[in-house]
Amino acid sequence: MCRVIAVSNQKGGVGKTTTAVNLSSAFGAAGKRTLLVDTDPQGNSSSGVGIDRRKLSSSVYDVLIRDADIHEAIQTTEFNHLDLLPSSLDLA
């Protein structure tokens, strides 16, 4: 069964990125297949799991706005069972 956990707050600096990255890596370490979706234009979740956004051909923006194939945008991270749908500055 798939479960969705959203980390959201309109205020900045409250630990959303830290919480999302740590939760997703903990679930992955526990053997749960995990997809971290980075929707912050700053892309700190993407860089936090070792993905260099400058080298990507597609992102969450392309999936949402340009109807790109989500499977092509998803990146494998160095963490077990943790994949990432990376952010883009185009979201700003």
Q: Which sequence spans correspond to the domains of the chain?
A: 16-91
Sort 68 into a burial class: Cβ within 10 Å, 0-12 / 13-18 / 19+.
Answer: middle
The residue length of the chain stands at: 92
Residue carrying the six token digits 């990255």: 21
Quick one: pLDDT band at residue 83, thresholds 50, 70, 90?
very high
Instruction: Give 1's pLDDT tier (boundaries 50, 70, 90).
Output: confident
| pLDDT > 90? residue 50 | yes
The token pair that represents 12 in the structure block: 């900045």
d(CA 85, CA 62): 10
Q: How many Å is the Cα radius of gyration of the chain?
A: 13
Rounded to an integer, the average pLDDT of 59-80 is 97
Q: Which amino acid is at 27?
A: F
What pTM does this model have? 0.92
